[in-house]
Structure 1
Amino acid sequence: MRTDDKLPRPEGRPADLTWPRMTRVRRWLLGSTLAVYAATVIGVLTTSWLVRLDWQVMLFRPYKQWPEFHTFLDYFVVLGQRGPTAVAVAAWLGWCSWRRRTLRPLLVLGTSLLLLNVTVGAAKLGMGRLGPHYATTVGSNEMWADGDIFPSGHTANAVVTWGVLAYLATTPQARRIASVIAAIFALGVGMTTVYLGTHWVSDVLLGWAAGLLVLLALPWLEPVMARAEHPLLALWHRLRAAVRPATGAPSPAVPALPVTAPQRPVTALATPRTARDEEVPAGPARETVAVGGRTVSARSPEGRPHHPSRPHTSRSERTPVTPTGSRRPPHADRAARAAAPVGPGRTVGG
């Protein structure tokens, strides 16, 4: 019974994208690769014909036989260096993950590199073989000498890093093309290390086998990566929401300030009512306040002043606003001038 059928498919993953299964061919390849890995280790440990081949190629010194290729191969071997290749492939797979809305490409790359570093690193440190440039005894296998050359890390990394692209291909044609390119890079990087004298031939053989074992073991790790994808996506969405809040969130309400009409000073003299004032309909209830000993009306809720009603008087009964008598101020040195008599031929001037 397949366990991956019960796992929910992440949103946005193409429906035609299927995980590689551990088929009969893959099982046969896995067993054959394990046999080559074990035979290479045993051949080096027993100082067999494989060690003699290592010394013959090393003493031949290919970099001196064909020096015209040295500059080009110095740059080509970078295709097997872990740092630059991991960054380049991770950038491509990161774009694929964003386009497909799934973390599977990045999880496959991370899992394969982690498995590669653990297995190859443990073998390097465990067997401690010295490289050709540091060999001490001709014909010796140079094992258990605090080295870190067996198997070849450049070769195994080239197999895994470029092989992941073929493993993640979504169509059979793309998988075939990517497999051919990955095989060319892996073979080329391995032979380049032998040309430069940095690895034995047996180191390269074990590196090819170690990288291929990692690729063949990936289908067995797919359920683990699928279970890890969902919590990682949920964590990513929570972090994204915390860093960049939603743009459609309502802005906080700002309390409105009360708007008051400009206050006009209340005069002591009451202005007479006109016909226009009588046409204004009665408003809400008015309140009266005392100002300067007089009672005046307060302002209405609309901000307009209202005066209290008073009785109307006729024009003849109103108090004149112009004072009577002379407008000149009294003066002590000025005598009052008598009115001139009106005689004949004289008119009264105003």
Structure 2
Amino acid sequence: MRTNDELVPAEERPTEPVRPRMTRTRIGILLATSVVYLAIVVGVLTTSWPVRFDWQVMLFRPYKQWPEIHTFLDYFVVLGQRGPTAVAVAAWLGWRTYKLRTLRPLLVLGTSLLLLNATVGAAKIGMGRLGPHYATAIGSNEMFAGGDIFPSGHTANAVVTWGVLAYLATTPRARRIASVSAALLALGVGMTTVYLGTHWMSDVTLGWTAGLLVLLVLPWFEAPMARAEELLLALWRRIRERRAVPAVPVTPLAIGAPRPAADGRRPVREPAGVGGRTARLPEGRPHLSAPRPRSERTPLTPTGSRRPPVPERVPRGAPLAPATGRGRTAGT
């Protein structure tokens, strides 16, 4: 009989989360991407062909050529904004963390965003390029003028945030789908910023490159992330142990022994119940329990009459005894 694993294609079966390693292929792609990154920066600094192409696209003004899609692209570009995308991806990876019983998905997302902010943020501040809407002279590279748009943060963030989902995929098919989806989203977000006139074309190309560099170096941080996961889990176990309250043993009181009152008043004597314990109502108030069972030799009812004694009755027709009173006699 064929098992469920045999009925599912091998490439679609979920596998154990494998931490990627820095292979020679990955190192080669990383070096090539770094060369492209440096080439774009040098081209902009020297005001060569990337800057000339930037001005051609800017003067073409795409947002005026196709104004009918302006509203849609205003919302679409949010897919590259760091806040909303980070919250959405963190929610999904938080659920994966719960299902897989590992902190690795959230640690990978946090590490990638930290690397992105450090590298892209430093480049933005260091080169200080102005955007198309704030350009001062036609043909200039607008570098070191106090801006913060080179490289494009929206584009780099789209590459990293959505690319992390492909990086953490557990099946080959899911990895391919996530990779293609992340690439299309990053491409669309980058070109949207050019359409809206918020970035130069060279800003977008450098943003794609910067985001890809962050994804390529993540395997070097797998060992520190594994160590951080161990430390966080150990810390969580210690916190749970400290929060656990030990059970306090309850010493039963002797029959009839005084019980200290909660309000500091005179001690209250516990009434004895069945078996030497105090019977309580469901509300927790002490109450006397039923008396102990009687012995077979003990009579069920007391002997004699329960009516109080009364004087003997006088027969009808008998003379009444003279009544006495204070200061007077009968017949007076």
Same fold (TM over 0.5): yes
Aligned twin of 1:222: 222
Aligned twin of 1:117: 117
Structure 1 residue 68 displacement after superposition: 1.3
Aligned twin of 1:258: 270
Aligned twin of 1:234: 234
Structure 1 residue 250 displacement after superposition: 4.7
CA distance in 1, matches of 2:183, 2:236: 35
The change in CA–CA distance for 1:242 and 1:330 in structure 2 (over 3 A counts) is: same
CA distance in 1, matches of 2:48, 2:230: 50
Aligned twin of 2:126: 126
Secondary structure of the equivalent of 2:43? helix
CA distance in 2, matches of 1:171, 1:159: 20
Structure 1 residue 108 displacement after superposition: 0.3
Aligned twin of 2:16: 16
The change in CA–CA distance for 1:237 and 1:334 in structure 2 (over 3 A counts) is: same
Structure 1 residue 207 displacement after superposition: 0.3
Structure 1 residue 232 displacement after superposition: 1.1
Deviations 1:215-268 (A, max 9, x none): 00000000000000012123234445666x57xx7576375453269xxxxxxx
The change in CA–CA distance for 1:232 and 1:62 in structure 2 (over 3 A counts) is: same
Please tell me whether residue 212 in structure 1 is matched to residue 209 in structure 2: no
CA distance in 1, matches of 2:330, 2:187: 136
CA distance in 1, matches of 2:69, 2:240: 50
Aligned twin of 1:181: 181
The change in CA–CA distance for 1:233 and 1:138 in structure 2 (over 3 A counts) is: same
Deviations 1:10-48 (A, max 9, x none): xxxx97221111112211110110000000000000000
**Aligned AA for 1:253?**
V
Give ranges in structure 1 of 5+ residues lacking alignment: 1-13, 262-278, 281-320, 336-350
Deviations 1:88-132 (A, max 9, x none): 000000000011111100000000000000000000000000000
Aligned twin of 2:106: 106
Secondary structure of the equivalent of 1:145? coil
CA distance in 2, matches of 1:121, 1:239: 36
Deviations 1:185-216 (A, max 9, x none): 00110111111110001000110010000000
Identity, in percent, stands at: 71
CA distance in 1, matches of 2:148, 2:330: 133
Q: How high is the TM-score relative to the length of structure 2? A: 0.72
Secondary structure of the equivalent of 2:57? helix
The change in CA–CA distance for 1:139 and 1:258 in structure 2 (over 3 A counts) is: same
Larger Rg belongs to:
1
Aligned twin of 2:144: 144
**Aligned AA for 1:229?**
E
CA distance in 2, matches of 1:46, 1:153: 22
CA distance in 2, matches of 1:334, 1:151: 132
The change in CA–CA distance for 1:63 and 1:250 in structure 2 (over 3 A counts) is: same
Secondary structure of the equivalent of 1:259? coil
Q: How high is the TM-score relative to the length of structure 1? A: 0.69
- Asked whether the 8 Å contact 2:322–2:330 carries over to 1, the reply is no
Aligned twin of 1:273: none
Aligned pairs for 1:60-71 (under 5 A) are: 60-71=60-71
**Aligned AA for 2:48?**
S
Secondary structure of the equivalent of 1:235? helix
Give ranges in structure 2 of 5+ residues lacking alignment: 1-13, 254-268, 274-296, 299-310, 313-319
CA distance in 2, matches of 1:15, 1:172: 9
CA distance in 1, matches of 2:111, 2:147: 26
Aligned twin of 2:169: 169
**Aligned AA for 1:138?**
I
**Aligned AA for 2:28?**
W
CA distance in 1, matches of 2:237, 2:99: 16
- Asked whether the 8 Å contact 2:77–2:193 carries over to 1, the reply is yes
Secondary structure of the equivalent of 1:22? coil
Please tell me whether residue 90 in structure 1 is matched to residue 87 in structure 2: no
- Asked whether the 8 Å contact 2:132–2:199 carries over to 1, the reply is yes
Aligned twin of 1:72: 72
**Aligned AA for 1:259?**
P
**Aligned AA for 1:128?**
G
The change in CA–CA distance for 1:15 and 1:155 in structure 2 (over 3 A counts) is: closer
CA distance in 2, matches of 1:15, 1:66: 46
